Amino acid sequence: MMSTATNSSAAAAAAAPLEISGLSITVQVDGESRPLLDKVSLSVAKGEIVGLVGESGSGKSVTSRSALGLFPGHAITTGSVVVDGVEVIGASAAQLLELRRTRASMIFQDPRSSVNPVRRLGDFLTEGLRARGVGRAEANRTAIGLLEEVGIRDPARAMRRFPHEFSGGMLQRIVIAGALSIGPRLVLADEATTALDVTTQAEVVALLKRLQAESGTGMLFVTHDLELAAALCDRIVVMYAGRVVETGAASAIFAEPQHPYTVGLLGSNPRLTGERATLTPIVGRPLALAEAPAGCAFRDRCPIAVPACATEVPALRPSRATEVACIMPGDEKAA
């Protein structure tokens, strides 16, 4: 276990919303150890949006859920996960409850998984505020204001309605408003816009950005879509097979990616700008850490791999404007 909660209010005020250092997680499956994450480090500063990007199985969800103390069952966890000055690894149930009620909120892909289908929207929107000691009348007023802000017509009536009476896009707007209503220091958005159609996605992303900017909260935006992350986020962390392989300012990652995997992610996405005429998908399928070969986990799919890539896991090091875990960063374009 790492350091315990920081009690000094001055230290808490200065603490970053999220600071993950050297997080490794291994679970036991059928009596065998299965590593999920290997020394993942990332941080989210106050008012910053950080994109956590990678294909399926790269460990994005396991990483982001760790910030709420949601670790897989029977996991061996090492490293440190500090949310707003509070160490999450080894925290008590009471500390975790307090963390989830007041400091960190999560928005999932399916808004219907965040709301109780048989409870009215008003109850959903006011319960976080009520848990923080806000009186019923004021909580109701705040909730109606939130519904207005996210564009729900006749918000007083909407408070009495049930989740199934709203479309997925509308419900996700409401869930986002609810998540931000408690004034969290950290918002974790896990594929929060993935299930929505393109137009609704654009509207919900804009709403997320606006509410985040107004509240100054830090946000970890988890997505498989690097282009979307580049448009929304300040910084990006790219994961592959349970490890961080590249990190840097969103503009730098987008303009000049250094890791062949990041280059591949950008090349395999259709573009609306017309800049890139052909799609070049990454060969092979994404691997989880447990299946990864020795050395660089990406080497079997990498167009520029050399025998030296098998010898050790490359450490993150600066290359041009990003930090990259590759022994030949930036060589992809020459391949």
Ligand X SMILES: Nc1ncnc2c1ncn2[C@@H]1O[C@H](COP(=O)(O)OP(=O)(O)OP(=O)(O)O)[C@@H](O)[C@H]1O
Q: Which is nearer to ligand X, 57 or 155 (CB)?
A: 57
Instruction: Give the footprint of ligand X on residues 146-185 (CB under 6 A).
Output: none
* Cα 204 from Cα 207, distance rounded (Å): 5
Q: Which is nearer to ligand X, 124 or 221 (CB)?
A: 221
Size of the site for ligand X (CB under 6 A): 14
- CB of 125 closer than 8 Å to CB of 146: yes
Burial of 274 (0-12, 13-18, 19+ CB in 10 A): exposed
Contact flags string 49-88 toward ligand X, x per CB under 6 A: -----x-xxxxxxx---------x----------------
* Cα 250 from Cα 245, distance rounded (Å): 14
Q: Which is nearer to ligand X, 223 or 319 (CB)?
A: 223
Instruction: Give the footprint of ligand X on residues 177-236 (CB under 6 A).
Output: 224
Q: Which of 18, 20, 23, 36 binds ligand X (CB under 6 A)?
A: 36
| SS3 call for 142 | helix
The closest of 272, 280, 244, 314 to 51, measured between CA atoms, is: 244
Q: In the complex, what is the shortest distance from the CB of residue 241 to ligand X, in angstroms, rounded to a whole number?
A: 9
With tokens 């289908």, the residue in question is 117
Burial of 275 (0-12, 13-18, 19+ CB in 10 A): exposed
- CB of 315 closer than 8 Å to CB of 295: no
Instruction: Give the footprint of ligand X on residues 111-140 (CB under 6 A).
Output: none
Contact flags string 261-300 toward ligand X, x per CB under 6 A: ---------------------------x------------
Q: Which is nearer to ligand X, 109 or 319 (CB)?
A: 109
Q: Which is nearer to ligand X, 35 or 295 (CB)?
A: 35
Token pair in block for residue 89: 């690894």
Confirm or reject binding of residue 29 to ligand X (CB under 6 A).
Answer: yes
Q: In the complex, what is the shortest distance from the CB of residue 113 to ligand X, in angstroms, rounded to a whole number?
A: 14
Q: Which is nearer to ligand X, 139 or 233 (CB)?
A: 233
Going by C-beta distance under 8 Å and a sequence separation of 6 or more, which residues neighbour residue 114? 107, 108, 175, 178
Q: Which residues bind ligand X (CB under 6 A)?
A: 27, 29, 36, 54, 56-62, 72, 224, 288
